[in-house]
Amino acid sequence: MGDRLDRKVAVITGAGSGIGRATAERFAAEGAVVAAWDVNADRAGLTAKTLADRGFRAAAFAVDVSSAASVRAAADEVIAQFGTVDVLVNNAGIFDYYTTLRDTTEEAWDRVLNVNLKGMFLVTQALLDALVDGGGAVVNTSSISGLVAGGGGVAYTASKHGVIGFTRQLALEYGKHGVRANAVLPGAVETEMTKPLLAQADLPILETVRSVPAGRHAQPDEIADTVLFLASDEARFVYGTSLVVDGGWTV
């Protein structure tokens, strides 16, 4: 428990599971008011309820980040309910398991890019005025797939490289207006997204996961701690950076 985000209003997308959920819990414990956004209304509701049961201020929003109309409605609702937005964590994302370029369908490409990249554009644009007014912080979830090629397939890798470019441009354009934008680049983290992979002991990628300097994959709270740092005042001079949290995978 602390006050590193005391009374800051934080929108976290994909807050119903994994890294987003851990971030919501970490932020609330540091005094933030959490708006938990997720396309899965039940999961968003569960995150908000868990926080509220612990005495924290939180609300759930059912929103598909890839839909402009859905994002606009949720943005309006957050402003109506909380007055402003101080922190935005663009975390919602989907993975396209081990698909080669030849096997990537146009539908899969669109689905991954629409959630992982277009979603970030839509949400950030919808909340931009509030973020500029309050001198906010934006943390975008990329991946080590934003640095190097890997198991996510072309659509995922392209989307996560795109997140880094989007973040840099945002930092350049709006840093002067008080908005600090940064990206976090996790390595392998145990979440709903990766559980099916981590459960298959014979997958070659797991050998890689075990051979990183840390010798293991991460738990979601280990990424949430980094997101907290980037969102907090401790990172007040950090703009447009890509912070790798991968147990040394890409050293």
The catalytic site residues sit at 156
Stretch that binds ligand NAI, among 52-60, 85-93, 173-181, 231-239 (CB under 6 A): 85-93
Rule CB under 6 A: say whether 91 interacts with ligand NAI: yes
CA-wise closest residue to 231 among 193, 185, 176, 179? 179
DSSP code string of 57-77 = -EEEEE--TT-HHHHHHHHHH
In this complex, which beta carbon is closest to ligand NAI, that of residue 66 or of residue 232?
66
* Max CA pair span of the chain: 51
Which residue among 28, 66, 120, 138 contacts ligand NAI (CB under 6 A)? 66
Rule CB under 6 A: say whether 39 interacts with ligand NAI: yes
Measured CA to CA, the distance from residue 193 to residue 42 in angstroms comes to 17
Rule CB under 6 A: say whether 17 interacts with ligand NAI: yes
Rule CB under 6 A: say whether 18 interacts with ligand NAI: yes
In this complex, which beta carbon is closest to ligand NAI, that of residue 98 or of residue 133?
98
Helix, strand, or coil (residue 225)? helix
Rule CB under 6 A: say whether 40 interacts with ligand NAI: yes
Which residue among 5, 33, 88, 93 contacts ligand NAI (CB under 6 A)? 93
CA-wise closest residue to 20 among 34, 1, 8, 31? 34
Which residue among 9, 10, 14, 130 contacts ligand NAI (CB under 6 A)? 14
Measured CA to CA, the distance from residue 190 to residue 30 in angstroms comes to 23
Q: Three-class SS string for 145-202?
A: HHCCCCCCHHHHHHHHHHHHHHHHHHHHHHHHHCCEEEEEEECCECCCCCHHHHCCCC
In this complex, which beta carbon is closest to ligand NAI, that of residue 9 or of residue 11?
11
Which residue among 5, 11, 13, 24 contacts ligand NAI (CB under 6 A)? 13
In this complex, which beta carbon is closest to ligand NAI, that of residue 160 or of residue 180?
160
Chain positions contacting ligand NAI, by CB under 6 A: 13-14, 16-20, 38-40, 43, 63-66, 91-94, 115, 119, 141, 143, 186, 188-189, 191-194
